[in-house]
Chains A and B, each alone.
Chain A
Amino acid sequence: MGDNGKPKLAMYWAASCGGCEISVLNIHEHILTVDSVFDVAFFPCIADFKIEHVNNYNDGYIDVCLFNGAIRTSENEEMARLLRQKSKVLVAYGSCAYEGCIPALSNLTTKEATFNTVYLDNPSIDNPDGTIPQPTYQVPEGELDIPVFYNTVKSLDQVVDVDYTIPGCPPEPPQIWAVLQVVVAALTEGAELPPPGSIVGARTVAVCEECPLEIHEKSIERFYRPYEINPEPGLCLLEQGLVCMGPATAAGCGALCPQVGMGCRGCYGPLPGVEDQGAKMLSAIASVIGAGDPTMEEDELERKIEAVVDTIPDPAGTFYRFSMAHSLLHRANLNGNGKGV
């Protein structure tokens, strides 16, 4: 492929689901603008490139690399380092690259437990020999090797320097397009880019600001899981006892989930100034628990609050659904006496 002088665009997936690639294609007709402005230099989801192509590029050859997916294996890490080297601007694209997302929930357990569930102990698995992946394997033709599976999932910025972050699972098309316009303007008209390290394509207010559902007094006697109730339309979901991460999550998505009766999952990450989204959400949830008042005996008070908390079955998995790798503690301690489940 000859050099046509256009800026070079790359997109790569590490530990991810592929939804981020689809979200880029989901900007509809604007994809034609992307195609006219950029030359695709590496994009395994849509075009046939090999790692050799990237290896042969000069350092900084790629102008913009959208990197999605968390760092779960040695291959993910190697590609992150390679693309960092070959890219002028490296963007952590989507929640996995930004803060670990769903793959990082396995930081609450061990690699062995993950392998056990994936390869051995699951009703749909047929693996009589108990085969699990080995990093190296001898065959008559020589030694084969596959990437090493790490115990802890990391975000992209925990492995290499990241210039910009676009949050979301996946990022919403209008936000992607807004960010791409800024990049295109910078490349074609010399407009300024946002300061390095910025989180772009999100707002600095909470999802609640964009959410049209009506808010009254929040005082919750018990929480419900989504399948347990049909929420009243038009009313704040948190008020109705559905865990909604809106108060602890950056806006930018247009509050799409709460508007269709599903509490915000928290995929746009924490608000500016917050280090730990889960802790903030825990704080918000605890503040709306209605049980207990100052006139109660201490024991009774505790029992009442415990009963409400019992209706949240998986606090760590709920509050850190997207941000485990970026949380203050990063992962569970499996050497302690805690259950670590």
Chain B
Amino acid sequence: MSEQFEPVIVGFLCNWCSYRAADLAGTARLHYAPNMRAIRVMCSGRVDPQFVLKALKEGADGVLIAGCHPGECHYVEGNIKALRRFILLKRMLAQLGVEEERVQLVWASASEGKILAEAVDKMTEQVRALGPLRWQETVLSGNGQWVEATPVLEEV
């Protein structure tokens, strides 16, 4: 393949800090990787682990969750809930064979467009190095024998 692999990263950005950081990165005309598809949520604490799993299953190569720094949450501690979930989810994803670089959490305040842009750049490179995830095609068909119509008799 001559074309470079472009990872698809789903980004959940909180309304009060990180989405504004992304806005700032735009108005400041910062150049950064276009691989993140931003989804605005009211708070990083709104990110249900189901969102992350569903994104990975349905074609994302990585998921970025971005929120306000601890102590700066618009809802006092929604971001701490997000952090608790993220830490536990990382453990579970390791058991499910998902590399840890594929799901990341970053704090970026409304004035930190640069931090967000750098995080996206860094994550894009890390996921690019890992290669595509393609959960449906790779995990659920090949080794998972997910879509087989008739049993393969050679295999034990």
Contact = CB atoms under 8 A, between A and B. Distances in A.
Nearest to B93: A338
Nearest to A315: B92
B135 interface: yes
Given A292-B84, A329-B57, A309 B155 contact: no
A275 B52 CA distance: 12
A286 B94 contact: no
Interface stretch (B35-43, B111-119, B137-145): B137-145
Interface in B46-91: 48-50, 52-54, 56-57, 69-71, 73, 76-77, 80-81, 83-85, 87-89, 91
A328 B93 CA distance: 12
Given A286-B85, A301-B70, A149 B156 contact: yes
B80 A301 contact: yes
B99 interface: yes
Interface stretch (A8-16, A230-238, A277-285): A277-285
Contact of A283 (B70, B85, B93, B135): B85
Contacts of B83: 292, 301-302, 305
A329 B80 contact: no
A307 to B, nearest CB: 10
Interface stretch (A18-26, A39-47, A53-61, A131-139): A131-139
Contacts of B156: 111, 115, 132-135, 148-149
Contacts of B152: 148
B95 A340 contact: yes
B30 interface: no
Interface string A128-154: 000011111000000001011111101
A150 B149 CA distance: 12
Given A151-B143, A330-B140, A333-B135, A338 B97 contact: yes
9 contacts: A133-B156, A148-B152, A151-B145, A152-B146, A280-B48, A294-B70, A302-B83, A331-B144, A333-B98
Q: Which 10 A-B pairs have the closest CB atoms?
A: A333-B97, A338-B97, A74-B151, A340-B97, A316-B95, A279-B49, A286-B85, A286-B84, A328-B53, A294-B71
Given A136-B153, A330-B140, 6 more contacts: A152-B144, A275-B50, A287-B84, A295-B71, A298-B107, A329-B139
